Structure 1
Amino acid sequence: MSVPLQVGGHDKCPTCGSTDIAYSQQKGVLICRYCRAQWTERNIEAALGYDTEISALTGMHVARGAGAIDPNAADVVTIKCQGCGAEVVINSATNVQARCHWCRSVLSLNQRVANGAVPDAVLPFSLSHDQAVELVNQFAKKRMFFAHKGFKREFSAANVVGVYMPYLVADVNAHVEMAGEGEVQTRRYTVSTGENSSETRYDADVYRVARDFDITVDDLTVESSGQRAGMSRAQDTANVINAVLPFDTKKAVEYNANYLGGYTSEKRDLDVQDVGWRVGSMVFGIGTSLMRRTLTKYDRGVKWTGGKVKVKGARYLSMYAPIWLYSYYERRGSGKEFLHYIAVNGRTGAVMGSVPINKAKLGFFSAAVTLVTLIGGGVVFFL
């Protein structure tokens, strides 16, 4: 089932109709440069009707922006400006918004790309560039001692850029079934295994264990770019972006191209059916974690031998989420390149990243620590 979201291809000021609009990160609002009106777009969940009880959810509901991507859609498209009638050419492979070069109207691709390339929602940046630079600086400086000399020489946190990353956000109503074996210890004892040696053994009762329960998950966030969803090249560390989640998705608003001014963005290339298995796996993992509180009697643990998830209902929307990103190309002696990232959540300030290591220095200090440990333990080797 597709859920429509009525968004035009021309973002205007609701007060005067001007298209000269900017996003104020400091205030968290859109501001008309002509009449100075200030506003925010509607909350996306309320706009889509996604704020209803998840436990009553049945069937599949997919918002317009999360719909199937048309594989035949051309990347280079022509958009007719609704402000002045001019035709604007844009490469939608790298951009999802543009500005008319005649009347400066901000043009959205919603009407031209009804295949899901444009999201339903956007979660605006709340962390400033200066704040992100400071966080990246702090992260990198703590790791400079073992950093590669090239990174030390070339590092400049001022090169941090703001990027909107594509995600699919799902509400899920599911049923989980699990089966396995649990052990309850009945006796613990020590036996001799030889001269001056022994081992501890135990006896336990073994029980069949089964769990069968309903679960609802609100705002499950899944990467909808193949590169960010663990499908990237082995030569980069794009997975660090996943480590700065979660986002405060409840604050997401209806997509408006003006929120993207001054930032870059990525298009999604994964459909709902591409991430369905991952959503099911995440729901199963959440259920397993919550269910552990019912297993305290099995003091020797539970070995799960089977399990399944049945999704009774799900609703999806597509969302842009803000990331401050610093990247660095490590050129290794072998001629290979490795791309490192330091990522900052544009809402919460959570930071994660990778820094190229000076392997020779790290090896030297590892050997030194090992030697000190051996000496401290009373063992000294002479070469």
Structure 2
Amino acid sequence: MLIHYKCPDCGSDMKFDSESGKLACDSCGREDNIDTYPKEFMSQEFAEGEAVEYHCKNCGAIVLTDADTVATTCCFCGAGVVLADRLSGNLAPLKVIPFTISKEQAENAFVAWCRKGLLTPKGFMTADRIKSITGMYVPFWLYDLRSKGEADAVCTRVRTYSQGDYNYTETSYYDVYRKVDLQYLKVPVDASEKMDDQLMDKLEPYDYRNLKDFNTPYLAGYIAEKYNYDDKELFPRVRSRVDTYVESYIKSTINGYASTSFRRKNIDTKPLNAYYTLIPVWMVSYDYDKKEHIFAMNGQTGKIVGKPPISSGKVAAWFTGVAGVTFITIKTIAWLMGGGI
């Protein structure tokens, strides 16, 4: 079932507005709260065949989607549509973080980010080759976890002292034991096979104070996909990640020793809850030097991640400058020590 959100005043398409947090009509300016939008103005079109072909009720064009799409736009009239039949049952998201950054704000922020690249080519810094900026909701699982950890370690303290004509080094050994019981809330892991996991990880953190109960109008005007991996399939990944947090925490509690050698570490992480959540991301496609560079922006905070091209000339100049400063510094110190002043 394909859903359009129609303006009760003028009949135009409405979409979610990131600034107001409401359904908005660009034609007449009407705004509606997500929870109070009149359901009778939802235009619905049922799918044909295997639920991959829909008809846009605005212009009659066929809307083709792949099997993972849950929200998109008509490529002919631009209407934002939601594929509600792919958001039901166990595919229904529990939570959503709405977009708070508009497309215009995302583009301006990306241009400013490009211009700050000290080691990127000048042609890239102009930021005039943006091919597309696409707002999409990426499927994530947010995990609540409990981790219990135990560790045995041998630690040392070293004391040096002099007695008579001799210098002594005294090493004391200590058995150290740690036991921790920790909880981690809403640890995010992306559940889309199309997205780069490392890129998505770097978009953190998120402000969960703006976490909302899912409602389909949040998707109007954006692209969204359903998850490819369920919470059980992704649990080994989040467990590995959290285990490193626990290990780091245990190490941080052992202070004041010259050395620490662990004899045994045991970490047991178990899931408490998992929330299927849609996270807002602006995907930026940038064409530079006959290559397409992909960047991602957190649609809530504006944080940008990706690998920009590097100018070999700027890198060489930077290292030359660093080496020059180092040489001047050493030479000056040597001159001062030689009695130059």
Displacement after TM superposition at 1:323 (Å): 2.0
Displacement after TM superposition at 1:156 (Å): 4.4
The correspondence for 1:206, drawn from 160, 167, 174, is: 174
Displacement after TM superposition at 1:344 (Å): 2.7
Counterpart contact for 1:176–1:284, Cα < 8 Å: no
Q: Equivalences for 1:1-16 in 2 at 5 Å?
A: none
The correspondence for 1:25, drawn from 18, 21, 31, is: 18
The correspondence for 2:193, drawn from 222, 226, 244, is: 226
User: Following the alignment from structure 2 to structure 1, what is the Cα–Cα distance between the partners of residues 304 and 283?
Assistant: 10
The correspondence for 1:347, drawn from 292, 296, 300, is: 300
Stretches of structure 2 lacking an aligned partner (at least 5 in a row): 37-48, 163-167, 333-341
Summarize the Cα distance change of 1:152–1:289 in structure 2 as closer, same or farther, 3 Å threshold: closer
Provide the residue aligned with 1:4 in structure 2: none
Please, what TM-score do these two structures have when normalized by structure 2? 0.71
Displacement after TM superposition at 1:23 (Å): 1.7
Once the two structures are aligned, what percentage of the paired residues are identical? 22
Counterpart contact for 2:282–2:298, Cα < 8 Å: yes
Amino acid at match of 2:155: E
The correspondence for 2:280, drawn from 316, 319, 322, is: 322
User: Following the alignment from structure 1 to structure 2, what is the Cα–Cα distance between the partners of residues 340 and 180?
Assistant: 47
Summarize the Cα distance change of 1:75–1:201 in structure 2 as closer, same or farther, 3 Å threshold: farther
Counterpart contact for 2:144–2:273, Cα < 8 Å: yes
User: Following the alignment from structure 2 to structure 1, what is the Cα–Cα distance between the partners of residues 169 and 259?
Assistant: 12
Please, what TM-score do these two structures have when normalized by structure 1? 0.64
Counterpart contact for 1:76–1:89, Cα < 8 Å: no
Displacement after TM superposition at 1:168 (Å): 0.9
The correspondence for 2:184, drawn from 202, 207, 217, is: 217
Note if 1:169 corresponds to 2:142.
Answer: yes
| Equivalenced residues, count | 313
Provide the residue aligned with 2:326 in structure 1: 373
Q: Equivalences for 1:106-185 in 2 at 5 Å?
A: 108-112=82-86, 114=88, 119-143=93-117, 145-152=118-125, 155-156=128-129, 159-172=132-145, 174-185=146-157
Displacement after TM superposition at 1:39 (Å): 1.6
Displacement after TM superposition at 1:97 (Å): 2.4
User: Following the alignment from structure 1 to structure 2, what is the Cα–Cα distance between the partners of residues 93 and 201?
Assistant: 70
Provide the residue aligned with 2:34 in structure 1: 40
User: Following the alignment from structure 1 to structure 2, what is the Cα–Cα distance between the partners of residues 159 and 365?
Assistant: 32
CA deviations 1:321-374 (Å, max 9, x no partner) are 112333335558xxxx5x534433221223333320111331244134324423
Q: Equivalences for 1:239-278 in 2 at 5 Å?
A: 239-278=198-237
Stretches of structure 1 lacking an aligned partner (at least 5 in a row): 1-7, 43-73, 191-199, 231-238
Provide the residue aligned with 2:338 in structure 1: none
Counterpart contact for 2:246–2:267, Cα < 8 Å: no
CA deviations 1:108-141 (Å, max 9, x no partner) are 4343565766633322111223332332222211
Note if 1:296 corresponds to 2:270.
Answer: no
CA deviations 1:176-229 (Å, max 9, x no partner) are 122231414142469xxxxxxxxx97623131423142x322211111123545
Summarize the Cα distance change of 1:130–1:105 in structure 2 as closer, same or farther, 3 Å threshold: closer
Aligned to 1:210, the other structure's residue is in SS state strand
Counterpart contact for 1:107–1:257, Cα < 8 Å: no
Counterpart contact for 1:109–1:118, Cα < 8 Å: no
User: Following the alignment from structure 1 to structure 2, what is the Cα–Cα distance between the partners of residues 166 and 38?
Assistant: 26
User: Following the alignment from structure 2 to structure 1, what is the Cα–Cα distance between the partners of residues 89 and 169?
Assistant: 62
Provide the residue aligned with 1:3 in structure 2: none
What's the Cα RMSD here?
Answer: 4.4
Amino acid at match of 2:280: P
Provide the residue aligned with 2:242 in structure 1: 283
Larger Rg: 2
Counterpart contact for 1:133–1:158, Cα < 8 Å: no
Amino acid at match of 2:310: I
Counterpart contact for 2:106–2:302, Cα < 8 Å: yes
Aligned to 1:245, the other structure's residue is in SS state coil
